Amino acid sequence: MVKVLLWVVVILAVILVMRVIAAQKLRQNQQNRTSQHNRSQPSKGKAEPMVRCEHCGVHLPRSQALMSDGHTWCSLDHAKHGPRK
């Protein structure tokens, strides 16, 4: 009888330890996910500076604009025309 009780206690202890380990793993996964989420957010929301074509006044991302002599243009054609008077 004492042996059976001992086995029950051992099995309960093993179950308890497994549940604690599983809960810790779950918490670590959630922490990893939230930290990755926080890291990915700033790059996602990073806005490219906008510039204005000096001929037609259209706004476009800096990487797509043509630049010459400190002026910005939306196209080569507008760069040839120059600023609108």
User: Toward Zn ion, which CB reaches closer, 51 or 78?
Assistant: 78
Task: Tell me the per-residue interface mask from 26 to 65 with Zn ion, x by CB under 5 A, - otherwise.
Answer: ---------------------------x-xx---------
CA distances from 2 to 6, 7, 12, 16 (A): 6, 9, 15, 21
The CB-of-48 to Zn ion minimum distance in angstroms stands at: 18
Select from 49, 48, 50, 56 the least CA-distant residue to 79. Answer: 56
Q: Interface with Zn ion by CB under 5 A: which residues?
A: 53, 55-56, 74, 78
